[in-house]
Structure 1
Amino acid sequence: MKKILIFVLFAALLIATTSVHALEFKSLISDAVSRSFTQKDISQAVSFTVSDLELGSNDQRRKQTATANLKITNTGSDDITVALSSNAASLYALQFSQNNINVPSNQSVDVSVSVTVPDDQDSGRKSIGTITAAASGVTRTSNIYLTTKSELVISRVKVNVDGKSSSLDDGEDVDAEPGDEVILTVTLKNEYDESIDIEDITLTVESDSDLDLDDDADISRIKDNDKDDSEFSFTIPRDIDEDDYDIDITVDGEDENGANHEDDYTITINIDKKSHEISIVRTTLSPSRISCGGRVSLKTLVENTGNNDEDNVAIEIINSELNLEEYFTGLNIDEADDIEKTLTFNVPSSIEAGNYNIEVTSYYDNKQSDVSVVTLYVDTCAATNNTSAPTTPTPPTTPTPPVVYPTGTSAPSYGTQGFMNTTGYIVLLGIAALVFIIIIIVLLVKFVF
């Protein structure tokens, strides 16, 4: 009986203890659930978004103020108060037009935000920090972007296609054909209206297409309000496909304050291939300078740059002064293929020295397609192996008019020897001199001595 009583008491104590713990556990569960629902209710009650802030524009100048609106939207069921802060650098002097903003449920509020653009701000759209918005323990973060003007600009692009020029704005296009020579003239300008130079400028022209264009130019300095022109040239490949090809032009440089300036420009080359075209790619002479009677080799390379295969191609080579009139006919050339032909000829031995243009013409189906001209230089011919001395031409004689003498006189005799020019005259003159000397001696002896 005693044991039963002890057992009953122990059981009662155990039941009481268990009940107490059960009540405590229930209380803990209840508190946890209550806190969970409370936090959930708060989270559902506070819900809002904050837009990114876009300051400036492509015309935004440095050392000026840029202003934009930050939009706060309350998407929750309760009104909220939003506190704003930013980590933008102090040099931007960022300011909010208001703070601790009351935003009613399901409504938006715009907050004006301003910054001062520093003089070393790089051009283009740059991130300068973030904005943090907080309400009832809930935070949202948005980005701050500042867009600043490039004072170094591509002011004009002039395009010359096979001798025809046009100016293209950014995004415009121009037509060209395979084999055309293209010259791009790019004009850069420093648009600063104050005395600030832009230095270490790199201008790049490139195309990742079949144009295979990648070129650049370095410009050391452009002063404020000055311009600089750079020229780029290339040839449209003859085997290029018919398509539109973009050319990207970019420039960058740094001003005296350390700000980087960049600009870009895009033009498009529209390649239009003819249905039928046999292009003369190259014509050469070997040698290109020769004396008369020499032997010359002419090589010409033609290519099918049209959109169709050709099975009736002809090449004509003509120069009448060199007695040249040669043809290659019945040639088959598939699209984008080429063929080379060689003609060897002798220069006439009687031809004069000079320059002689040889005309090469291509045909398809008896229709002229392309013309090329190559010049042969012929020097003065060398002297022949004739052993006789060269004959000096006799100058023409001019007839002498007759001389008329007075009546009773005769013409002087020319070409006959006179008496005074004879030996007898000289001997007689010597004897006379001797007699004269003897007479002088006799007279001296008679009268003096």
Structure 2
Amino acid sequence: MSSAVVPDHPWLLPGSLVPAARVRRTPRDWLVDSLAFLFSVAWVLLAYGDSLQPKPEFAVNLGPAWLNHLDLAVGLLASAALWLRRRWPVGLAVAAAPLALFSVTSGIALLIILFTVVVHRRLTVALALVGWHLVTTPLYLAVRPDPVLPFWAAVAWTLLFIGGTVAWALFVRARRQLVLSLRDRAERAEAEQQLRLDQARQLERTRIAREMHDVLAHRISLLSLHAGALEFRPDAPPAEVARAAGVIRASAHAALQDLREVIGVLRAEPAAGATPERPQPTLGDVPALVAESRAAGVRVGVVDEVADPAAVPAAVGRSAYRIVQEGLTNARKHAPGALVTVRLAGGPGDGLAVEIRNPWPVGEAGSPIPGTGTGLVGVAERVTLAGGRLDHGRDADGDFRLVAWLPWAPA
């Protein structure tokens, strides 16, 4: 005989207790039920004892002797039935309803049953039971008249007891609803927080994957460039072949290292709001990027007109680095052998301008380097998220031009 939570029963208040054979009473339930039973039995014995020796000034049970003996049996039965109130409160209330017409000894048991129904069942059911007790009060006093109080005073006292019980039950009901509401809000907040954490992790991993695309595209384009040179010059001097092979090996090792580090980050569970651990280049890494391309045989010219390179915010510098990296990669793919010009300019408050220019390719030298065609799309998304502007395409001079402007707030 125990209880569980079932929210969708037509008679139940959400979160109310209903039968569940596999759930046992908690120690608190045992304590409350035991006290209710003992309190009811104590009232039964007290009321029956007064009926044996009636005293007009204190009598609570006046009437035929057989009625008092019957009342004793009924009161004990109603007290024992309190152990079923958690399982069948409405059924118990309906079965005990006739006792409200004549029984004195079951008064406490009836109040406890009424309290249980008001707390755990919907108000329509509870109000029906309360209405029955209000209607039967005058009938009860007609059968069991009070020897001390006038009829209407006795009615008032009885209604006061019923009203106090109902008020207490409504208070407990409201408190339970509040606790359930707070618990539901806490669970929803926890679920929403977990969802935000999952979304943050997914966004972080997407950003890392985007960073990895830029890095690998750059590294692999260098590998393809040197491999193509070896393919078209098999008779090159051994020193030049060894130098190209060394660059290929170094680029392959660097690409594998970057890939290993990023995959390690993706396999781990990054904290919400954390930035990618690797790679994290800045504007100060652009010269090394240009030197790497020059070592691969790409002709690159750099015009640096940045007012204060050390003051460039990390996020702006990282975006500028990725734009230059993508521009050099595209030049190696689509205009091999062409002169690439990189121009950086700007300052605090004016923003940072990044321009990569190369002649429009007039033919193909060697095998084209494959690509996904999403590099410029990623750059455009990066610039947009940074609050900047991006323009690319063929200009009036016939050159391919990639221009980006990134906001640089004043210090």
In the superposition, the TM-score normalised over structure 1's length comes to 0.20
Structure with bigger helix share is 2
Larger Rg: 1
Structure with bigger strand share is 1
In the superposition, the TM-score normalised over structure 2's length comes to 0.21
